[in-house]
Chains A and B, each alone.
Chain A
Amino acid sequence: MSAPSCLNPKACCTSGLIAALLSFAATPVFSDGHAPALGAGATVSAPAMPGRLLASNCFQCHATNGVGGFDRLAGLGANEIMEEMLEKRAKSKAKIMSVHALGYSREQLEQLSAYLASVRTNAARPSSR
């Protein structure tokens, strides 16, 4: 099962916003453009494949299977994650993510990106309270 997506932004926008407003406590919404947090009770599964152990290095800060923390990674495209990491590599500033992007080989980055992209979410509807 894939992450819930919105193929009709206009329609989803209204209902999505209402759902968000109805469930402040359970479903934080962030304005930085990253994937939103999963609702309580969502079930997340991920296959065993190369890249799992590498990707688990991300979980301390991005939550188990990449479902939260600083930014939710689960459900992003492998290319998207890869692009971000390569961008971070190019930054010379002492930033935690730049250090991490530089710490892996390109092949390792590809493996961990593919793994994070493979995480599947059977998202529970945000609970309306």
Chain B
Amino acid sequence: MNREYLNRRHFLSLCLAGGAMLLPPLLRGDDDNNGDGSNVNFALAQTGITNRKVVVVGGGMAGATVAKYLRLWGGSGLEVTLVEKDPAYVSNIMSNLVLSGGRTLSSLNYSHASLTSKYGVQVRNGTVVAIDAQARTLTLADGTSLPYDRLVLAPGIRFDDAYGLTQADYESAFPHAWHAGPQTQTLRDQITAMQSGDTFVMTIPAKPYRCPPGPYERACLVADYLKTSGKSGCKVVVLDENPAIQAEPHNFNLAFTQTHAGIIDYRPGVSGIKVDKTTRAVSFTQGGAQQALTAKVINVIPPQRAGTVVDLAGANNSGGGRWAGVDVLSYASTAVPNIHIIGDASATTQPKAGHVANQEAKVCADAIVRAFLGQQPDPAPVTNSACYSPITNSTASWLTVVYQYDGNSKTMVPSGAGVVEAASISSKNFSQMNTWFNTLMADSFA
């Protein structure tokens, strides 16, 4: 045991025994929050690396994290340029709470300013139009050419035109809101405009898709909103192309059959989905029978693929051209040298989740730093997922899993207890969710 720490601990409890009554409620630690680290400065490592350039494309969960950790672990001689097309990042995580009125969209904005001020990352607002993997340069829409020693692609996903809907439909009357932003607000407005007896239909694409528990979480929160806002007799119909609930099956089943019983109508194993934009009819096949229903709000979550920049690099060599094949020791492309792909755009055995994207980014940053030092990647990386899912505006469930590298399959496999979900849905989980979210975002963006 560390003596110094014991003393400190003892000292603290002494102080607090006397001081607790004087402390305002805010400080009584009701949800363990001990500061997210965003106001702490971190010294860059001294590695001796000089004049090495990494360009990161995409400043979301994966891209922001890799930019930060490349500087933190690689030091000041490892120059990092982050190219992001949007002026700020809007978090997808927690964005379903915007639909239920539990959060505002503006509370989900994250700036890239700390990456520059605290770590010296050069942030460029722009879009990539060309990648020359031979010359190791990329070109931005404004004509700028950026040379790199390593290129990290973290563009997240894009969406297929599907079920009779196009990108223009998603951006107007049929928002998927699966990339948080203006569509999230449109969908929120459509939900608040629902009247008693109206139906909300959501479709879930066959896996793999971004955030396995996300659609079920959304169904719960929409149901919770409809119930608590006094709109009676409304229905939330969930048409799932998958044969069963894809995450936290016990708790979501409980939520569908008890918490939100009578509102959520969950239909697994659905195929042949088709949306008629004019009549607002959704037709589909389930159990061999052709069916149709009309809905006030139609929320299609379309099938997904890696962001276009992955195709531009010629790295979309997995899943029929949808995703980037990677070596999970370094997230190096299995198709193109000196290019790494992290986050939702890559094809791995891990879920497409922000918490996972953050850890993939760290594995990738560590491998690139080692490469610049003439070393091999860590041969036994570990990653993890921990994810809280709101079930109502005040309760939540969670899932967690640790992944270890398996040398035989060359993939990340669940270890120890495997994938575990919360023993129950609770308000304690909901308050811990905020600590988790704030800390995860600070670890990625600050």
Which A residues have a C-beta under 8 Å from some C-beta of B? Answer: 2-3, 5-7, 9, 12-13, 16-17, 20-21, 24, 28-38, 40-48, 52-54, 56-57, 59-65, 67-72, 75-80, 83, 93-94, 96, 98-104, 108, 117
CB distance from A127 to the nearest CB of B (A): 10
B340-384 interface with A by 8 A CB criterion: 355, 358-359, 362-363, 366, 378, 381-384
Q: Is B231 an interface residue (CB 8 A)?
A: no
**B43 A45 Cβ-Cβ under 8 A:** yes
Q: A53-B362, A54-B382, A69-B37 are in contact. Are A61 and B440 (CB under 8 A)?
A: yes
B2-41 interface with A by 8 A CB criterion: 2, 4-5, 7-16, 18-20, 22-24, 26-29, 32-37, 39-41
**B42 A20 Cβ-Cβ under 8 A:** no
Which B residues have a C-beta under 8 Å from some C-beta of A? Answer: 1-2, 4-5, 7-16, 18-20, 22-24, 26-29, 32-37, 39-43, 45, 47, 69, 72-73, 355, 358-359, 362-363, 366, 378, 381-384, 386, 398, 400-404, 415-417, 420-423, 432, 435-436, 439-440, 442-443
**B15 A17 Cβ-Cβ under 8 A:** yes
Contact of A100 among B355, B362, B402 (CB under 8 A): B402
Compute the total of residue contacts between A and B using a CB distance below 8 Å.
Answer: 224
Contact residues in B for A64 (Cβ distance below 8 Å): 37, 40, 42, 72, 442-443
**A61 B386 Cβ-Cβ under 8 A:** yes
Contact residues in B for A37 (Cβ distance below 8 Å): 34-35
Residue of B nearest to A67 (CB): B37
Contact residues in A for B359 (Cβ distance below 8 Å): 56-57, 60
**B355 A60 Cβ-Cβ under 8 A:** yes
A13–B34 Cα distance when bound, in Å, is: 20
List 12 A-B pairs, Cβ < 8 Å: A5-B7, A33-B13, A40-B39, A40-B40, A45-B43, A57-B383, A61-B436, A68-B37, A94-B421, A96-B386, A102-B415, A103-B401
Contact residues in A for B5 (Cβ distance below 8 Å): 5, 35, 75-77, 80
Shortest 7 CB-CB contacts between residues of A and residues of B: A103-B402, A77-B2, A63-B37, A102-B416, A37-B35, A45-B43, A30-B29
**B439 A43 Cβ-Cβ under 8 A:** no
Contact residues in A for B37 (Cβ distance below 8 Å): 38, 63-65, 67-69
Contact residues in A for B36 (Cβ distance below 8 Å): 63, 68-69
Residue of A nearest to B442 (CB): A63
Chain B CB within 10 A, most for which of A36, A53, A72: A53
Contact residues in A for B355 (Cβ distance below 8 Å): 60
Residue of B nearest to A58 (CB): B384
Q: A17-B18, A68-B36 are in contact. Are A43 and B41 (CB under 8 A)?
A: yes
**B32 A71 Cβ-Cβ under 8 A:** yes
Contact residues in B for A5 (Cβ distance below 8 Å): 4-5, 7-8
Contact of A41 among B12, B19, B41, B415 (CB under 8 A): B41
Contact residues in A for B423 (Cβ distance below 8 Å): 93-94
**B439 A7 Cβ-Cβ under 8 A:** no
A73–B358 Cα distance when bound, in Å, is: 19
CB distance from A62 to the nearest CB of B (A): 7
**B12 A60 Cβ-Cβ under 8 A:** no
**B32 A32 Cβ-Cβ under 8 A:** yes
Chain A CB within 10 A, most for which of B39, B378, B398, B423: B39
Residue of B nearest to A42 (CB): B40
Contact of B41 among A16, A42, A100, A102 (CB under 8 A): A42
Q: A94-B420, A94-B422 are in contact. Are A70 and B435 (CB under 8 A)?
A: yes
Contact residues in B for A57 (Cβ distance below 8 Å): 359, 382-384, 402
Contact of A69 among B26, B358, B363, B439 (CB under 8 A): B439
A76–B34 Cα distance when bound, in Å, is: 15
Contact residues in A for B16 (Cβ distance below 8 Å): 29, 31
